Copies of this chain bind each other. A is one copy, B any other.
Amino acid sequence: MAGNTFGNLFRVTTFGESHGPALGGIVDGCPAGLAICVDTIQQELNRRKPGQSKLTTPRKESDLVEVLSGVTTRDAGLTTTGAPLGFILRNDNAKPSDYSHLENTFRPSHADFTYEAKYGLREVAGGGRASARETASRVVAGSVARQFLATLGVEVGAYVERVQDIGMPLPPSFHSRDEVDAHPVRCPHPDTARRMAERIEEVRHAGDTVGGAVVLVARGVPAGWGEPVFDRLHADLAKAMWSLPATKSLELGSGLSGTLMRGTEHNDAFVHRGDRIGTATNRSGGIQGGISNGEDIVLRVGFKPVATVMSPGQSVTREGKPIEVRGRGRHDACVLPRAVPMAEAMACLVLADHALRQRAARLTFGA
C-alpha cells in the first residue's frame, strides 16, 4: 500500500536508500523448481550499474547481489523452492556529504520538495528512497522473472532508439543483447550509436543533460496473457514503465502515429501463420483488448533529461526564500543507456506475473 511492492502472483517488494547501508528486496511467488543462476543476475546488475563507461555517472558501486533464501542446491546448481527469495546489495560508495547543501532547499524537478510535503521530513543524502539507485533491486527481481520467462520461450529486449533528436532510422523490432550492448550507448544501429555518444559527451561537458526514447520488445509471449478491464496487459506494462524514474511518454504499437490514421488503415488483419493465427501488421503492439495476441509486444518509453545539472537552477528555501541550487555529486548526463536494463526488468516482472495469472483463467489449465 505504501508503494514498495509490485506484482500479484509474481511479486517483488524492495527497500533501501541511495546512501544507506544496503538495498534489497524479496521476490515472492517465483514457482518452485526453477533453476536460478546468480551469475546471470549479477550480469544484469552490471548492465545497470554506474561507471560502466564514460557515458554514465562515475559513481562506483560493486553492486554485488547476495541471495539469502528461497533456493536450494540441486544438480550442482540452485533451484527455487517456492519460498521467497530475499536479497541484499551493500552500498559501498555512499557520500552523504555531497548533499549537505540541500538540507534547507529543494533541487528543481527532483523529489526533495514532494517527499517533504508528503512525509513531513526527508532523507537528504542522495534523495534517499527517490534515488534511481533503488532500481538495482528491480533488476535483481527482473532477472529472476526473466529466468522464469525463458522456460516459457519469452524474451524481452530493449534498446536506445533516440537520444534527444538523434534517432534510429529503423522501425521498432527485436534486437539481440549482443547487438544492443555492442556500443555502450545501447543503440543497435552503430552509426546512430556513435552520434548519440557524441551528443551525450557534448552535453556532459556543458554540465547539462539529455533525454530520449527506449524501445522495448517482448517476443514469444503466447496469446492469452493479460486480464480484461483494469489489469490489461498494457495497463500493467504502462504502470511498470511509468514507475521508472524520468518517464515522460509511453506508446504501444503504432503509438502516436496510430492516432493519426483511419480505422481502415490501422486495423491488423488476421492471417493464418503456420500452426497459429497471427496478424499481418502489428499496429496493436501485440495486445488486443488487454490480452496478448501472440505477436511481438512493442512499447516506446520517452525519458526526460536528468534533472541534476551542473549549472545553477532557481529554487527556494523551506521558508520560501529564493536560492540557487547547483548539482554536486556524480550523475548521469543521459539516463538512457542505463534505462535499458531497468525497462527490461520491469517488463519481465509484469510478464511473469501475467504468466502465472493466466493459469487461473480456465477450468482446466493447459487444456
3 closest Cβ pairs, A-B complex: A111-B289, A3-B227, A15-B86
Q: How far is the CA of A20 from the CA of B67 in the complex (A)?
A: 10
Say if the beta carbon of A61 comes within 8 Å of chain B. no
CB distance from A351 to the nearest CB of B (A): 14
6 sample A-B contacts, Cβ–Cβ < 8 Å, listed by A number: A109-B288, A114-B291, A117-B223, A120-B367, A238-B242, A249-B258
Q: Which chain B residues lie closer than 8 Å to A363 at the CB level?
A: 31-34, 80, 148, 151
CB distance from A118 to the nearest CB of B (A): 4
Say if the beta carbon of A219 comes within 8 Å of chain B. no
Q: Which chain B residues lie closer than 8 Å to A40 at the CB level?
A: none
Q: Which chain B residues lie closer than 8 Å to A294 at the CB level?
A: 117
Say if the beta carbon of A344 comes within 8 Å of chain B. no
Q: How far is the CA of A31 from the CA of B29 in the complex (A)?
A: 20
Determine whether the beta carbon of B29 is less than 8 Å from that of A259: no
In A207-227, the 8 Å CB interface with B consists of: 208-213, 222-227
9 extra A-B contacts, CB within 8 A, seeds A230-B239, A259-B304? A4-B228, A32-B121, A33-B121, A117-B224, A119-B362, A120-B362, A164-B259, A272-B321, A359-B365
CB distance from A362 to the nearest CB of B (A): 5
Say if the beta carbon of A21 comes within 8 Å of chain B. yes
Q: How far is the CA of A65 from the CA of B33 in the complex (A)?
A: 31
Which B residue sits closest to A316, measured CB to CB? B270
- With contacts A28-B5, A304-B258, A360-B1 taken as known, whether A119 is within 8 angstroms of B20 at the C-beta atoms is no
Determine whether the beta carbon of A306 is less than 8 Å from that of B263: yes
Q: How far is the CA of A284 from the CA of B361 in the complex (A)?
A: 32
- With contacts A106-B270, A129-B81, A362-B82 taken as known, whether A123 is within 8 angstroms of B72 at the C-beta atoms is yes
Determine whether the beta carbon of B82 is less than 8 Å from that of A6: no
CB distance from A72 to the nearest CB of B (A): 5
* Interface 0/1 of A5-27, CB less than 8 Å to B: 11011010111110011111110
